[in-house]
């Protein structure tokens, strides 16, 4: 695998409990606990509730960020993790989040960003 500056993991959660994914307090609590499970260091949290429904938020972590967008009307959540190295095992935290959202299905994708051989030094 080529050396890069960042590693992005996106997770789509389908068939979630719509009341859970439309609560700012619940979303924040779930993401904070997930960050702890994954040994990520939280710097700041911003979660916004839209009217009439839906939530977007970012948790800034020392390792980069966690971002979330919810569509309760579709029982869907888009979540992404960006970290500065591959030493973090996100799987346990992602499974925990899936259980909290009561999601029946997820799709996970990972990619690298900021390839060092293309960055001018």
Question: How far is Cα 72 from Cα 62, in angstroms, rounded to an integer?
Answer: 29
Picking from 117, 121, 81, the residue whose alpha carbon sits closest to that of residue 2 is 117
Catalytic residue among 16, 69, 74, 87: 69
Distance CA 95, CA 80 (A): 14
CB 53 within 8 A of CB 73: yes
Please, are residues 72 and 54 in contact by the beta-carbon 8 Å criterion? yes
From 23, 56, 65, 84, active-site residue: 84
Catalytic residue among 4, 16, 64, 103: 64
- Reply yes or no on whether 64 is catalytic: yes
Look up 74 and say whether it is catalytic.
no
Please give the positions annotated as active site.
64, 69, 84
């Amino acid at each position: 695998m080529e050396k890069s500056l960042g590693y992005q993991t996106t997770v789509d959660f389908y068939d979630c409990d719509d009341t859970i994914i439309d609560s700012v307090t619940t979303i924040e609590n779930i993401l904070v606990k997930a960050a702890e499970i994954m040994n990520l260091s939280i710097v700041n949290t911003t979660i916004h509730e839209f009217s009439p429904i839906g939530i977007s938020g970012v948790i800034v972590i020392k390792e980069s960020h966690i971002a979330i967008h919810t569509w309760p009307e579709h029982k869907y959540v888009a979540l992404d993790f960006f970290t500065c190295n591959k030493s973090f095992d996100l799987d346990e935290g992602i499974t925990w989040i899936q259980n909290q959202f009561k999601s029946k299905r997820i799709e996970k994708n990972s990619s690298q960003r900021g390839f060092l051989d293309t960055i001018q030094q």
